[in-house]
A and B are shown apart, each in its own frame.
Chain A
Amino acid sequence: MNGVFDLGGTDGLGPVENDHMSEAVFRAEWEKRVFPMFAQSARAGLFNVDQFRHGIEKMDPAEYLLSNYYEHWMHTIEHYAEVAGILDPADLEKRTQYYLENPDAPLPERETDTEIVEFVDWAVSNGFPANRESDKEARFSVGDEVVIGNESPYGHTRRARYIRGHRGVITAAHGTFLYPDTAGNGLGDCPEHLYTIKFTAAELWGPEAADPNGVNYFDVWEPYLTPVPATQGA
């Protein structure tokens, strides 16, 4: 989908806030409560990582820009808990009001589920690789010139606007990986070949605006690519 989250090349957002506060992993106690919800909610089947991202992408654009990173996380977790039928927005508002008036009120009694703790320990050290076996043959190889297709699909995609329609060269071929354009839209892993594409800055931004010797790299899945049309010659 086209949206404000697709920020590459957006002008007018002001300077990068680069202060000492940025060194803290978590800047508020509430951030510490949101961060761990991700792995556990994924374990519970509320979303995969691409769906998690897409939930953030669907935020109100003004709210997206004016809220911080972990508020984005809270938003998408709420969204998928509601989709799963385990969260009622009216109930969440009621509880929010209660905790606002009683900030020290305890959370509900929690069961000590050792399985979840074991899972998070396992997940932290092993992770979830996104490469997937496939017998699909690669249509492209390193050194090929390609053009990024111009499509603007609805739903989740990693086809950022700033690369669409532009021409680059494949610098690495990584094998097959789960495809966000299906995985993020609840349509399955559907592995596709993944490539790294090198663009000159001039190709992306025009020779006037670009750094004369700048280079941009972007990873794309095969369905985003089309061969460079053979227009040379008479």
Chain B
Amino acid sequence: MTANPTDTPLRTQEEIAARVKALESVLIEKGVVTTKAVDRLVEVYENEVGPQLGAKVVAKAWTDPEFKARLLADASAACRELGIGGLQGEEMVVVENTDTVQHVIVCTLCSCYPWPVLPPNWYKAPPFRARIVREPRKVLAEDFGYPLPDSVEIRVWDSSSELRYWVLPQRPAGSEHLSEEQLAELVTRDSMIGVGAPKPVVTEAAGA
């Protein structure tokens, strides 16, 4: 038994594609959808909106304490300052990791997430949604290779309302000299969900 749909598909990819096309043809005929709007939305979520925006916000919070305070107080308002927000980001809440607290985000009832910082597919899959609320330390260690000392308190946030939680990870050690743009490159999607750390700083002079 597996909950991974790619192992035991009920329909082949060809069958799903045909059914989607059939549904789209009906919705086009009924005036519900148009191709231009479909193409526009795909363009937005493939190219304009995504984890790079969350990374930008995190990098700014790492370098600007006043912005960070505003972000933790009202994430949606702070993100709007940077032109980030909109659909499924109307009520964002950012929670901050520390040396002693690790936050993790999930949506056990469906798969809610702040779309402006889009989730990876595993986030929406049953194993993550089922297990992270009950055995977060084990999931982080075994499934994500991210073991945490027992002294770190793990706080799991279930996105059960329209509030959209995400994590402000800790700034990597040795990153003091990096620019905001360079810092943003260290921020991973996993780190904003809380199942991993940002990428470590690679020092060019390593070994010197």
B120: contacting residue among A23, A113, A214, CB under 8 A:
A23
B42: contacting residue among A11, A36, A116, CB under 8 A:
A36
B121 touching A16 by the CB < 8 A rule?
A: no
Rounded to whole Å, the gap between the CB of B76 and the closest CB of chain A is 9
Q: Closest B-chain residue to A219, C-beta based? A: B161
B5: contacting residue among A68, A123, A211, CB under 8 A:
A68
Chain B residues within 8 Å of A65, by CB? 3, 126
Q: Closest B-chain residue to A109, C-beta based? A: B28
Complex Cα–Cα for A131 and B161 (A): 11
Rounded to whole Å, the gap between the CB of A83 and the closest CB of chain B is 13
Chain B residues within 8 Å of A74, by CB? 16, 19-20, 23
* Segment from A95-103, A133-141, A226-234 that makes contact with B: A95-103
A16: contacting residue among B41, B122, B156, CB under 8 A:
B122
Q: A5-B109, A10-B130 are in contact. Are A124 and B156 (CB under 8 A)?
A: no
**CB within 8 Å of B: which A19-36 residues:** 21-30, 32-36
Chain A residues within 8 Å of B20, by CB? 30, 33-34, 74
Q: Indicate if B125 sits at the interface (CB-CB under 8 A).
A: yes
Chain B residues within 8 Å of A37, by CB? 23-24, 27, 32-33, 38
Q: Indicate if B81 sits at the interface (CB-CB under 8 A).
A: no
Chain B residues within 8 Å of A87, by CB? 23, 26, 30
A36 touching B161 by the CB < 8 A rule?
A: no
Q: Which residues of B contact A (CB under 8 A)?
A: 1-6, 8-11, 13-38, 40-42, 44-46, 49-50, 85-91, 106, 108-111, 118, 120-122, 124-131, 133-137, 139, 142-144, 150-163, 189
B144 touching A16 by the CB < 8 A rule?
A: yes
A17 touching B125 by the CB < 8 A rule?
A: yes
**CB within 8 Å of B: which A155-197 residues:** 158, 160, 162, 174, 177, 194, 196
B131 touching A16 by the CB < 8 A rule?
A: yes
Complex Cα–Cα for A162 and B156 (A): 13
B37 touching A103 by the CB < 8 A rule?
A: no
Complex Cα–Cα for A30 and B129 (A): 24
A96: contacting residue among B22, B46, B133, CB under 8 A:
B22
- Name, among B139, B143, B162, the residue most crowded by chain A CB atoms within 10 Å (CB to CB): B162
B25 touching A107 by the CB < 8 A rule?
A: yes
Chain B residues within 8 Å of A214, by CB? 136-137, 153-156
Complex Cα–Cα for A86 and B6 (A): 31
**Majority SS at the chain A contact face:** mixed
B32: contacting residue among A44, A177, A215, CB under 8 A:
A44
B162 touching A215 by the CB < 8 A rule?
A: no
Rounded to whole Å, the gap between the CB of A125 and the closest CB of chain B is 4
Complex Cα–Cα for A44 and B90 (A): 21
B27 touching A215 by the CB < 8 A rule?
A: no
Chain B residues within 8 Å of A66, by CB? 3, 5, 8-10
Chain A residues within 8 Å of B120, by CB? 22-23
Complex Cα–Cα for A17 and B3 (A): 10
Chain A residues within 8 Å of B32, by CB? 37, 40-41, 44, 46, 81, 86
Complex Cα–Cα for A10 and B134 (A): 8
Chain B residues within 8 Å of A216, by CB? 133, 155-156, 158
Q: Indicate if A153 sits at the interface (CB-CB under 8 A).
A: no
